[in-house]
């Protein structure tokens, strides 16, 4: 659940060794899936950012999501960079570049920004507009990436 954007700081932080083992396991899973002829669906940037993002990008539109479940606010209200913010595109592009460097790509990605939480600061029209804009930006990003190779 913490990786789905509902909680933060719960029973963590995770040890670096655990994160590295998960990374190695993911590489094995992706390699095996492709060897079996399967296409992998990798995660995309959904907008979740740590508290430090406010310090790094002080002018970015970063707001907490709603509380989740019966957890205290300190463990929920995950920070979200808003989808119409240039910082969203900046982080999202960097995330996809690194993802491709680590795992290759089958050009299939999934992002669930609001898994059982409500973002009080984003309106549906902004989300729809940003989805269109993100799609266009993603196409331009891939064109540039392919031209560089």
- What tens digit of pLDDT does each residue of 91-102 get? 999 999 999 999
Low-confidence ranges of the chain (pLDDT < 50): 1-2, 123-125, 132-133, 136, 142, 145-149
Nearest-CA neighbor of 127 among 64, 44, 47?
47
**What pLDDT score does 47 carry?**
85
**What pLDDT score does 78 carry?**
79
**What pLDDT score does 135 carry?**
52
- Please state, in angstroms and rounded to a whole number, the distance separating the CA atoms of residues 2 and 19: 14
């Amino acid at each position: 659940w913490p990786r789905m954007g509902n909680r933060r700081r719960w029973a963590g932080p995770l040890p670096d060794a655990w994160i590295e083992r998960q990374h190695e396991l993911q590489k094995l899973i992706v390699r095996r899936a492709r060897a079996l002829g399967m296409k992998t669906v990798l995660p995309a940037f959904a907008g979740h950012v740590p508290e430090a993002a406010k310090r790094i990008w002080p002018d970015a539109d970063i707001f907490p999501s709603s509380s989740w479940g019966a957890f205290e606010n300190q463990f929920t209200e995950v920070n979200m960079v808003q989808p119409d913010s240039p910082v969203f595109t900046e982080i999202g592009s960097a995330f996809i570049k690194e993802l491709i460097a680590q795992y290759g790509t089958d050009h299939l990605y999934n992002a669930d920004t609001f898994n059982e939480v409500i973002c009080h600061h984003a309106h549906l029209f902004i989300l729809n507009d940003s989805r269109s804009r993100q799609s266009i930006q993603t196409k331009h990003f891939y064109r540039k990436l392919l031209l560089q190779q």
